Structure 1
Amino acid sequence: MKTAKGSDLSDRRKLATDAKAALLDRYRAAMAAAEPGRAARQAERQAVSTAREERRAERDRLKAEEQERLLAEAKAREIVAESEAFLAEQARKAADVSRIAKIIEDEAARKAERDRRYANRKARKS
């Protein structure tokens, strides 16, 4: 029986090497043909990425400004609440002082009336 051409190990190796080289050549040719489009796509991706970063930075800046505004409003509300509490406390103290002064005045008036009655009684007995 005759041996078929290419059945030798070295022939098979050579054919495999040639096939791999052909695949590599086709790949390189495809990459060279796609090079202008790839550069454009890469530039487009870079532009999209840059725009995304700018939007993120703007969003972060707006968020920080909003946070500062909210903190300032909270601080203002806290100051107003403290001043209202202070004024309420002062009003309560003034009311207490007024009530105490009225009680003292009433007591003094009662004592004066009692003393007057006592003096009248003494005057009648003598």
Structure 2
Amino acid sequence: MAIYKEKNFAERRQTAMDAKKALLEKVKAKMPAADDPAAVARREERKAIAEARAQREAERLRLKKEKAEQDAREKAEREAAAEAAAKAEAEAKENAEKDMVSRLLADEAERKAKRDARYAARKARQR
């Protein structure tokens, strides 16, 4: 019967390194070469996809910027229209106040004229 001999640390480490090397060689053997036509085609395809994605993103950003500019213009137009409406309303209110003041002055002048006519008629009766 054989006697079991335990491996020391150096032997275990060497076995692990050999296993890793074997695994790496196995993976490298499965990998295609850099100049492989299929690999070149995949790289070109990925490059084309990346370029198309970049173009779509640039277009999306351009459209977003245009929309923001259009929204800013529309907001400015709405504000200008609101300001013009407020100004027109203020002018109409001011004109209405002026008309009311002028009517009040006209009514007061009319009442004064009637009062003066009554006063003159009373003076004329007394003479």
CA displacement 1:41-94 (0-9 Å, x = unmatched): 121111111101100110110111011011101101111110111111011101
- 1:51 equivalent to 2:17? Answer no
The two structures, once aligned, show a CA RMSD in angstroms of 2.9
Report which of the two has the higher share of helix.
Answer: 1
Equivalent residue number for residue 121 of structure 2: 120
How big is each residue's C-alpha offset from its partner over 1:101-123, in whole Å with a ceiling of 9 and x where there is no partner? 01001001001100100110111
**Residue 77 of structure 2: aligned partner:** 76
Shift of 1:23: 6.4
Question: 1:6 — aligned with what?
Answer: none
Normalising by structure 1, what TM-score?
0.77
* Aligned pairs (5 A) from 1:76-95: 76-95=77-96
Distance 1:64 1:23, change over 3 A: closer
Identity value in percent: 43
Alignment of structure 1 residues 1-126 onto 2, 5 Å: 20=21, 24=25, 26-32=26-32, 35-126=36-127
Q: Name the TM-score, length of structure 2 as normaliser.
A: 0.76
Regions of 4+ moved over 6 Å: none
